[in-house]
Chain A
């Protein structure tokens, strides 16, 4: 049964007793009516005492009158009237004499009536006070009833707390002048009964009587009118005497009620503590149970950080506050557990044991803290703190209760914490084993990382996971795997990062790092855990890396093997093609020589010339081919050397133009040359560039029909020189264009079949251009023509060029002996 139900039942019972008392009041009223009648009789006794005399006189007078009329008067000494008067005097005389006494008696009756009324009022207050067990309602009733016997403007009832302080239990009347109900006065002694002149607020007189039931006082104050009299004091004392049993009962009831709820709460706390294995749940339950039992605004539970006990760290396990928000659950506090003084209320704004944590309410009022240690086997495992902003709110009962609660929950919290830690350790151990298993059951590195990440997330919170390896060449770390969103940086204060090495201490192959943002920072045991995980996954990662490296090596070898195979095939193909290309002109030369040489051959002069022409052409072709093959093999071997020097582009083009004139004439083709207005110089191998353009031009003439135009142009584009050869020849298909730069390829069409060529020219042209750092680009389409553009870097300012170069080019004589042969060289007869 809860405290609420108890109190409502109690109220019902009290209401019953009230209805009973109503009938008693009716009886009392009847009694009063009877008393009133008696009082009336006393007050009018004199008048009543005359009544028999008057009646006798009247009867006598009537009789005398009748006798007179009948003539019997002679029988009586006195006339009946006289007789009547005498009788009346006889009867009334004593009454008259007793009138003074009667008056005095009447006054005494009046006085008795007043005292009786007061007594009755006091008795009624006492009776009313005995009916109610609710202290507040009782005070209310007393304050109303007391007004009828002692006038006051403010009534205060105080009690003395178990710690000696005085507490204001009840205030009636003007609340603005003096402390309000519920306030505890830090100092103050119980005054003896008496009438005191009053200076508090607007009051002029004060009447105080002790109240043994509360160990306190009841005080009346007047703001106006005459000072209190001793009678008032007496009345108050009598009232106190009357109400004391009732108040004592109510106080006892209140404390027993409280004890019942305390016991219920303690039982509830005990039940929670023993049935719940989560320390947080125990603490939450305690906080809830205490809420109604101890008058407080702030409640906190700080558990000693057992990992850091030597550093006197505490972790906030629970924090509930109406006005303070400084502590967060999980926050670390510096705690001097030795300084904890259990059961003492401190009032310096923060719990006495906590240092460097500014705890202030918004109004900056002092907070009264009660700190209760959680002790298990003389070991302080934590603290329960309760705070209130009102002095005296936490009383001795609260202290006792809190200490009992602490005794009850401390072992449970300890057990629960230990159990939770064991659980966590077991879970961690399982997870570490799982990670190890997961890692070793995979061979693919990425899968291993993924599995490690998944399993790690089960036991350690992280926003980002990163695995890095030490590179063998420069020993820098290279991040090979990341998971999660956050970035691993130590710069942000909200980020907590822990890193564990992969590998043994002597040979660290990399690191595994996790970071968390905003949440609780990692603890040393988290690092321990990560290190254990690192140890577990290291062999798997090392093996997988080895396997990966081996696979990569094998792939590289395979690829190289393939490349070598391809290269070998290409060389075979090349050789085969070369031999064909060489043998064909050789065959032609030797064949025609044989024809000419035939003894019985009748050869005409024109036929002989034609044959010799064919022989010469094929010999030239053979020479070109051999040069091209030599160039190709040098390019292939990387021994192709460029002899770069600045030269004039205009000069080169005019030389080429001149050398092509005869060839152009034979095909009746024209060459249109376009060069920049200002001469352009370029640093390149002049003879090689000339070779390339010659090749392009000879292709253009070969593959263009007669009477077409070939264009050769040079222009500057940015820092490059663009040399373009465009023809209106047969052109090429897109496929042919793609193949054009492969050795011995020749586009297939009627023209190419009829034109001699090695199929090496463009390959060499491309290589030479690229050796110069330039590019070669081909455009055109079948039947329209071909445009080939060389783009070469190395534009040079003319003034930097040595002026003697042309002369150098024109050196005549022996190349071996440019300065003339030495004397010792025997040149034969002069």
Chain B
């Protein structure tokens, strides 16, 4: 079951997302602020993060920067949830390495579709990486045994 972390300061939003995604067959974890994201990611190891932008202590962009700044978590795809939809915000999200964004209020089924696409994309990327690693390992065993695991997961949102 695919694990998704929902980060939002509004309990109602968390409940809403949680219910929608659970109904779509995901396992949902929650965090209430940007400052909790790193800890939550490390403990739940989600395969997707839904991250709200406006949060009281640490906003979504800061949390995204931290997530993408850490090699252990930079490969996890992030979908930003934003009420603003301003081009500057989208540019910010893209430059920080977010995979996608969802504008509030979202349409019926939009969240599930975007999540599904992201999860698929993430899984495909993971698969491709594993394949590359396997190829590289095969090559390495023929040529030299170095560079194992050196190529980390690249950001797919660029």
Contacts and interface: CB of A to CB of B under 8 A. Distances in A.
A591 B56 contact: no
Interface of A: 576-577, 579-580, 583-592, 594-595, 597-598, 601, 614, 617-618, 746, 748, 752-754
Q: Which of B13, B33, B86 has the most CB of A within 10 A?
A: B13
Nearest to B11: A754
A598 B84 CA distance: 27
B63 to A, nearest CB: 15
Interface string B70-111: 000000000000011010000000000000000011101100
Contact of A748 (B56, B83, B104, B105): B56
B20 to A, nearest CB: 6
A807 B97 CA distance: 65
Given A580-B83, A591-B105, 5 more contacts: A576-B84, A587-B104, A587-B105, A748-B56, A748-B57
Contact of B10 (A588, A594, A597): A588
Interface string B136-158: 00000000000000000000000
A753 B7 CA distance: 13
A759 to B, nearest CB: 10
Nearest to A617: B12
Contact of B20 (A595, A746, A754): A595
B9 interface: yes
B128 interface: no
A587 to B, nearest CB: 4
Contacts of A746: 56
A594 B108 contact: yes
B143 to A, nearest CB: 54
B105 A583 contact: yes
A576 B86 contact: yes
A492 B32 CA distance: 81
A594 B21 CA distance: 13
13 contacts: A579-B83, A580-B83, A580-B84, A580-B104, A584-B10, A586-B105, A587-B104, A587-B106, A594-B20, A601-B23, A748-B57, A753-B33, A754-B11
Nearest to A580: B83
Contacts of B130: none
A658 to B, nearest CB: 29
A476 B32 CA distance: 66
Given A579-B83, A601-B23, A588 B13 contact: yes
Nearest to B86: A576
Interface of B (DSSP majority class): loop
B61 to A, nearest CB: 14
Nearest to A597: B108
Contact of A598 (B12, B23, B86): B23
A601 B57 CA distance: 35
Contacts of B104: 580, 583-584, 586-587
Contact of B13 (A576, A577, A587, A601): A587
B121 interface: no
A643 B63 CA distance: 48
Contacts of A601: 23
A583 B20 contact: no
B56 A592 contact: no
A813 B71 CA distance: 68
A585 B106 CA distance: 12
Contact of A579 (B23, B33, B56, B84): B84
A595 to B, nearest CB: 6
B19 interface: yes
Nearest to B106: A587
Interface in B1-58: 9-13, 15-17, 19-20, 23, 32-33, 54, 56-57
Contact of A752 (B19, B56, B86): B56
B83 A591 contact: no
Nearest to B32: A753
Nearest to A584: B10
B122 to A, nearest CB: 24
A396 B15 CA distance: 133
B16 A595 contact: yes
Nearest to B82: A580
A618 B15 CA distance: 13
Q: Give the one of A577, A587, A601, A752 with max B CB within 10 A.
A: A587
Contacts of A594: 20, 108-109
A594 B109 CA distance: 8
A753 B8 CA distance: 10
Contacts of B12: 585, 588, 592, 614, 617-618
Looking at A583, A585, A592, A598, the one whose CB has the most chain B CB atoms below 10 A away is A583
A589 B15 CA distance: 12
A588 B56 contact: no
